[in-house]
Homo-oligomer: A and B are copies of this chain.
Amino acid sequence: MENLNGEGAAPLVGVIGGMGPYAGVEFLRKILANTVAIRDQDHISCMLISCPSLIPDRSEFLLGTSADEENPAKGMFLCAQMLYKAGIRYVSVACNTAHSIRIFTPFLNMVKESLPNLTVVNMLETCAAWVKTDCRYRRLGLLATLGTYKSRVYHEYFTEEDGFTLIDPEERGCTNIHEAIYSEDFGIKPHPKPIKRRAKNALIYEAYRLADRGAEAVLIGCTELPLALDQEDIDIPLLDPAIIAARALIYCVAPEKLTPFAL
């Protein structure tokens, strides 16, 4: 079978989605939205893999509440392998909670060992670097899953050393946000379209609470959240790491095609 790599048109950029599936699709849309394009052919080539049943819930794993103890890293790595087979050389993982050290480090180690030519664009690292150099906000509120809060993964990247102060919601708020994502009755995962008003309002409320407690901007620390919360909903600046990672992937293969971007 013909090998297309190096010909420039075959996809080198891939997204590991499925965490959740709608968030993966949304990540791909962010790649498109951040590309300067008039015609179809102007867009970069890319692939999305969505294998949700291969990857246990990241938050449950971190909180120790999952039925099985399997590390989601294993399924993420299998997805990386499949993308690699198809020719992908730059990949990002469309899930914030998956970037927690207990998941992302074993994932990176497996990639390093078995797929040394695959570059993983770390969404949180990329985002922190961007905010640090291109953005004036330093006191950042965080909307995320309980797994992300508990793992304190954002603190690994948005460090005090770099001048950042991260503001988590109070305990009740963390649960509210987690419910807005997971609740069977009104959560984003089971009800992605249309989004339930209760989920959206909970996020708006918690974002304003964070602002009241000093946040200059709010990090959208879960790829599911932009399905329900848009900059148009709220007058607090929203920082979406998925947008920054999508832009970083475009930058890897076609930096001249990046749309202007500022916040």
Chain A residues proximal to chain B, CB less than 8 Å: 1-2, 4, 8-11, 18-22, 25, 28-29, 32-33, 37-57, 75, 78, 81-83, 85-87, 114, 184, 189-190, 192-193
Chain B residues whose C-beta falls within 8 Å of the C-beta of A44 in the assembled complex: 53
- Find out whether the CB atom of A18 lies under 8 angstroms from the CB atom of B40: yes
Q: Which of A1, A19, A55, A114 has the most chain B CB within a 10 Å cutoff?
A: A1
C-alpha spacing A52/B75, complex, angstroms: 29
Chain B residues whose C-beta falls within 8 Å of the C-beta of A114 in the assembled complex: 1
- Find out whether the CB atom of A53 lies under 8 angstroms from the CB atom of B41: yes
C-alpha spacing A45/B193, complex, angstroms: 20
Q: How many copies does the complex hold?
A: 2
Shortest beta-carbon distance from A41 to chain B in Å:
5
A53 in complex: contacting residue of B9, B19, B47, CB < 8 Å: B9
C-alpha spacing A228/B85, complex, angstroms: 35
C-alpha spacing A28/B48, complex, angstroms: 10
Shortest beta-carbon distance from A74 to chain B in Å:
11
- Find out whether the CB atom of A21 lies under 8 angstroms from the CB atom of B50: no
Q: List 12 A-B contacts (CB under 8 A).
A: A1-B85, A10-B82, A11-B49, A11-B51, A28-B48, A41-B55, A42-B52, A42-B53, A43-B50, A47-B47, A47-B86, A85-B86
- Find out whether the CB atom of A50 lies under 8 angstroms from the CB atom of B11: yes
C-alpha spacing A56/B8, complex, angstroms: 15
Chain B residues whose C-beta falls within 8 Å of the C-beta of A45 in the assembled complex: 18, 49-54
A21 in complex: contacting residue of B40, B49, B82, CB < 8 Å: B40
Kindly list the 6 A-B residue pairs having the minimum CB-CB distance in the complex, ordered from nearest.
Answer: A86-B86, A20-B40, A45-B51, A40-B52, A48-B48, A21-B43
